Structure 1
């Protein structure tokens, strides 16, 4: 197996293990066993378990860079929020372990939190703040709302929806076929609230 293939294979196979058991719950031997390689390969490619975990987190949180690309679009701030919502729903569909890494790192941060997770999350929140500030300056949004609180409320609404999926499967259809309806509901709640 080529070096790049072995390295990528280790990341791929370690991802569900770390997502399910957390950083401390997975041993180097377990990862090596699943990958069918010698334990020393993890040190060779990553410098140890923490390096492999960092590589997994880098791959998982790299998908958030797409939010910064939305900021570069020449479109209405509300449309940028919609692109963010669409992108977030798609991210969770394509990266089923991402939310586990979010919650794991937020509740039991590893050394990777400060260097990988926190900057990625802050980047998203800052970008959403910019969308809202831009909308305020063009009188698109209601005055008096704090851009940071607004950004966190929107991000929280979407993230919490997916976080609760295991507990709410009997209450709501979480299938991808319903994504357009979900996006429409999130945007409606975000823009119009719930008051009549």
Structure 2
């Protein structure tokens, strides 16, 4: 595919992401997306086939790019397992703030608990990234860096769930935090560094084995 076609597809996906985020899957239409993107319906259908195909393409682009980053991170032989988790926290927080439109759209669809081919496909995409994160956690358990009884699923829920609560209950959390959480400047300057620092401190305390300093370090003959 030549560069012009790639650029055109990316432009359509950018517009579709915003429209889906603002209106939800059911409220959005391919006609409104094609109009905002400045392309005809024939071109949109040629690239994506249907509204569902377009919706999945928006998700696939974001999720696949993050999966590639996670795989590179997981295969880095120079980093400890904790360094990888710490880097993952940074990457995830950056993507939450920098892709708030996408995150809003993702939460809208996944929170509806709908069943069907669309929701099943979304779940499969997301689970691939969860699996990559679990591999990093399991590496730390296997090499003795992390505690043996680490609950992989609850660590993942903690990582994702903190963001979901803060971002997706904005009226409550803005009052709690004392600033407008959906303001871009607040997200960048206040929320991002705060959630990174909190999750690193929390997860490090839970994951990483403490050095046992309880034993007497004096020579045996000292009484």
Q: TM-score, normalised by structure 2?
A: 0.73
Superposed CA offset, 1:150-191 (max 9, x none): 333333334444434564234325431233343122111122
Give the Å deviation of 1:79. 1.0
Q: TM-score, normalised by structure 1?
A: 0.82
Q: Distance in 2 between matches of 1:15 and 1:30?
A: 12
**2:94 — aligned with what?**
90
Closer, same or farther: CA 152–69 of 1 in aligned 2, 3 Å:
farther
**1:33 — aligned with what?**
35
Superposed CA offset, 1:1-60 (max 9, x none): x54443332222111111121221112221122223332322222222222222212122
Q: Distance in 2 between matches of 1:124 and 1:52?
A: 21
Moved more, 101-110 or 59-68: 101-110
Q: Distance in 2 between matches of 1:61 and 1:101?
A: 13
**1:9 — aligned with what?**
11
Closer, same or farther: CA 163–190 of 1 in aligned 2, 3 Å:
farther
Q: Distance in 2 between matches of 1:118 and 1:37?
A: 30
**2:111 — aligned with what?**
107
Q: Distance in 2 between matches of 1:47 and 1:59?
A: 16
Say if 1:132 and 1:151, in contact at 8 Å, map to a contact too.
Answer: no
Give the Å deviation of 1:149. 3.0
Say if 1:42 and 1:49, in contact at 8 Å, map to a contact too.
Answer: no
Q: Distance in 2 between matches of 1:81 and 1:5?
A: 34
**2:195 — aligned with what?**
182
Moved more, 15-24 or 37-46: 37-46
Q: Distance in 2 between matches of 1:141 and 1:12?
A: 40
Q: Select the structure of larger CA radius of gyration.
A: 2
Mark the runs of 5 or more structure 1 residues left unpaired by the alignment: none
Superposed CA offset, 1:90-138 (max 9, x none): 11122122222321331345633333x2233212222222222222223
Say if 2:17 and 2:58, in contact at 8 Å, map to a contact too.
Answer: yes
Q: Distance in 2 between matches of 1:137 and 1:28?
A: 48
